[in-house]
């Protein structure tokens, strides 16, 4: 691993600029793995804290042992680090807004690195999260640099966002529009202003990259390719970015929940986790615990608040479960209070389903591992991802409708969802479809598969001599 050091000139250098939330950091670090495997040098940038976070939490491979991924660590940002609010009416992690507002300070160090890479390389390829447009804007100063936007959400979600933003320029089949939720309640007003600001810098890109594949979202990728939406720019569906075979980074230090899963029957456990940007109220946690207990099903439950701006600060609340809960479910439930290796859990043979917030990173990991989802959207793209999973792909069910997002999900609803997914004929059909879709995705990502060929096409494009 090297940091801000150039030991030799590079023919083509990829500059990877992620947005500093876990689901974004993770996706672009996984994409770095795919690109670097083709012999192209990748420079992954961020603050020292967020690069450490990305490396610490990555699963299925070891970025430290990859010789042509270089981490460039900038000085940590100064911002007011607030705790998450479990009782907020909008579940979007507004406590992270000070971090988002401080990101503009990364423009100068990223620009300096661009200058150095441009001088040392025939071509510099900037791949940046769509929420980092202002940070990478100076790439236009370098004639041998080009940029590609990475959208961290599903093709389904980004298509409808762009289609609506552009005034619905063409008709869409009524059945595709059926059930499309509004964006009301998905974001805070402050974050929407931030998004608008970032999108001002997206026009100079040479194309778009998606963490999805045509096996999963072909109709929506085709609609994204229409000139009204794409502007005739190139697009690539290169996902899933994550490893599609659930390897373990260090078997000597396996998480204790994986050892517990080793003792469970195949497909018998539901994994319950709502990602790194969700904080539930004490009342909701109590109802969720009661529902899991009453369901009679085995489970692994990650009980934790949303990440702070610095995940290495141990200042979160201690979540209180019902009195005696862990003792009563000891034989069939496993509670995790820290960060959990989600990809490895989903890839474990003992895991049969996933109760999830439906963030896209979680969706793609679940799809690639062939697991059905009990969808409980909280904010952002999650309500629309839920529709994709449950209505389009039919590989899951809804725990709570988005129109009732302000309602408490009581224990009875949790129990019903878990029983349906894990112990009913309806759930068995969903899990069968999920397993078949996962197999198709893994085949497409393998040697000679459609996704692998699309990745090869992208690599050929960025290393071209024209």
Cα 136 off chain centre by: 21
Is 24 in the active site? Answer: yes
3-class state of residue 16 by DSSP: strand
CA dihedral (154, 156, 157, 162) positive or negative: positive
3-class state of residue 460 by DSSP: helix
- Residues contacting residue 249 through CB under 8 Å, at least 6 positions apart: 58, 59, 60, 61, 62
CB neighbour class for 174 (10 Å; exposed up to 12, middle 13-18, buried from 19)? exposed
Instruction: Give yes or no for a contact between 149 and 209, defined as CB atoms under 8 angstroms apart.
Output: yes
Longest CA span, the chain: 67
- Residues contacting residue 419 through CB under 8 Å, at least 6 positions apart: 295, 296, 297, 427
* Catalytic residue chosen out of the listed positions 43, 129, 305, 379: 129
CB neighbour class for 332 (10 Å; exposed up to 12, middle 13-18, buried from 19)? middle
User: Which strands sit side by side in the sheet containing 69-74, from one edge to the other?
Assistant: 69-74, 41-47, 10-17, 121-129, 145-151, 207-210, 234-237
* Catalytic residue chosen out of the listed positions 24, 30, 151, 379: 24
Instruction: Give yes or no for a contact between 12 and 122, defined as CB atoms under 8 angstroms apart.
Output: yes
Is 129 in the active site? Answer: yes
CA distances from 280 to 86, 151, 169 (A): 5, 27, 39
Using CA atoms, how far apart are residues 431 and 437, in angstroms rounded to an integer?
A: 10
Using CA atoms, how far apart are residues 305 and 54, in angstroms rounded to an integer?
A: 18
Please list the active-site residues: 24, 129
């Amino acid at each position: 691993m090297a940091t801000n050091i150039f030991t030799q000139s590079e023919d083509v250098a990829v500059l990877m600029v992620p947005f500093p939330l876990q689901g974004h950091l993770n996706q672009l670090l996984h994409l770095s793995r795919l690109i670097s495997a083709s012999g192209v040098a990748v420079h992954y940038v961020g603050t020292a804290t967020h690069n450490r976070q990305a490396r610490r939490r990555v699963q299925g491979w070891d970025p430290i042992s990859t010789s042509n991924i270089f981490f460039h660590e900038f000085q940590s940002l100064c911002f007011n680090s607030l705790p998450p609010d479990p009782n907020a009416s909008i579940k979007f992690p507004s406590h992270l807004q000070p971090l988002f507002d401080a990101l503009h300070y990364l423009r100068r160090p990223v620009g300096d690195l661009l200058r150095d890479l441009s001088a040392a390389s025939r071509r510099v390829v900037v791949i940046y999260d769509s929420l980092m447009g202002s940070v990478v804007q100076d790439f236009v100063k370098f004639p041998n640099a080009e940029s590609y936007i990475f959208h961290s959400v599903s093709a389904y979600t980004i298509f409808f966002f762009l289609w609506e933003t552009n005034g619905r320029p063409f008709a869409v089949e009524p059945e595709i529009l059926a059930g499309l939720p509004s964006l009301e309640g998905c974001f805070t007003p402050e974050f929407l202003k931030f998004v608008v600001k970032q999108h001002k810098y997206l026009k100079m890109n040479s194309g778009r990259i998606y963490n999805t594949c045509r096996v999963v979202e072909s109709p929506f990728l085709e609609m994204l390719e229409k000139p009204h939406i794409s502007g005739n720019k190139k697009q690539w569906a290169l996902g899933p970015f994550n490893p599609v075979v659930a390897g373990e980074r260090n078997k000597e230090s396996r998480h204790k929940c994986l050892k517990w899963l080793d003792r469970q029957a195949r497909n018998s456990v539901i994994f319950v986790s709502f990602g790194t940007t969700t904080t539930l109220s004490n009342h909701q946690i109590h109802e969720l615990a009661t529902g899991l207990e009453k369901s009679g099903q085995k489970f692994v439950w990650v009980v934790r608040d949303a990440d702070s701006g610095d995940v290495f600060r141990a200042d979160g609340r201690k979540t209180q479960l019902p009195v005696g809960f862990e003792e009563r479910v000891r034989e069939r439930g496993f509670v995790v209070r820290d960060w959990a290796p989600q990809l490895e859990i989903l890839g474990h043979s003992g895991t049969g389903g996933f109760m999830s917030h439906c963030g896209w990173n979680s969706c793609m990991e679940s799809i690639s591992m062939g697991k059905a989802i009990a969808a409980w959207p909280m904010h952002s793209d999650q309500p629309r991802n839920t529709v994709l999973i449950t209505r389009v792909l039919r590989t899951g069910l809804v725990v709570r409708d988005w129109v009732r997002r302000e309602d408490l999900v009581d224990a009875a609803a949790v129990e019903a969802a878990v029983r349906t997914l894990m112990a009913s004929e309806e759930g068995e059909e969903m899990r069968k479809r999920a397993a078949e879709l996962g197999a198709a995705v893994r085949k497409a990502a393998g040697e000679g598969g459609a996704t692998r060929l699309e990745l090869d096409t992208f690599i050929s494009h960025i290393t071209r001599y024209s």
